Copies of this chain bind each other. A is one copy, B any other.
Amino acid sequence: MTEHTHKQFDTELEKIRTGVLQMGGLVETQVANALEGLKTGNTALLERVIDGDHRINLLEVEIDEECNQIIAKRQPAAVDLRLVMTVIKAIADLERIGDEAKKIAKAGKRLHSGDHTFSMRVDLSHATGLVLDMLRSALDSFARADVSNWTAITKQDEDVDASFKGTMRQLITFMMEDPRTISSSLEVLFIAKAIERIGDHAKNVAEYVVFLVQGRDVRYAKSVAAEAGNTKA
């Protein structure tokens, strides 16, 4: 590689890296706005989230294409290749977080469209705070190529799952006490589920960063252990 080509290559890698962070920032705003609009009944904000989703979709396609170009032209190896692969996977998860934000916004619009004021009755702020924090941490890990957040993120993911189960139990109680709340409770249940899935995707992004930094695939550690157990048996 000539020095010129080398510089170009660096610029291209920097571009996809920045692309992930830009997309991540947008996605974070979408999630925060969806949850804010849901809480306050600000339907204009919810509309904005719904309309904003396609920008995220297009960013994914754009960055994806840039990654393909880099692979085709530059034959990246070692950490450069891991960066490209990390980017390709991270943007797919970010795009899906965007989808979940859109789902929350749509459900929020339906809930707030009735004649009387809708009250959430369950408190999603704990789970909400956790997944927004996980998303920020995961993007921060990526930006700094630093895996020190990893343990905290997996712990937060467990908290989010536990919080979802608690919300579900609460909603079941409400529905049993007053079956007229069943439809709206289901909307809230799917919102809680969307929040939980945002946590899963944020955790995925953090997993890719471990692969990027350490070159090892930490997904499915349990599967590896199970398979090792089978072989021994």
What residues of chain A have their CB less than 8 Å away from a CB belonging to chain B? 51, 53-55, 57-58, 60-61, 64-65, 68, 71-72, 75-78, 81-82, 85, 88-89, 92, 168, 172, 175-176, 179-180, 182-183, 186, 189, 217, 219-220, 222-224, 226-227
Contacts and interface: CB of A to CB of B under 8 A. Distances in A.
A219 B61 contact: yes
Per assembly, the copies of the chain total 2
A164 B226 CA distance: 34
A105 to B, nearest CB: 15
Nearest to A88: B88
Contact of A217 (B61, B78, B168): B61
Contact of A71 (B51, B71, B176, B226): B71
Contacts of A51: 226
A227 B62 CA distance: 13
17 contacts: A51-B226, A54-B222, A54-B223, A55-B223, A58-B223, A61-B217, A68-B85, A71-B76, A72-B76, A72-B78, A88-B88, A172-B182, A172-B186, A175-B179, A179-B179, A182-B182, A186-B189
A71 B81 contact: yes
4 closest A-B pairs by beta carbon, nearest first, are A54-B223, A57-B220, A57-B223, A75-B75
B176 A182 contact: yes
A161 to B, nearest CB: 13
A54 B85 contact: no
B172 A64 contact: no
A72 B77 contact: yes
Contacts of A92: 89, 92
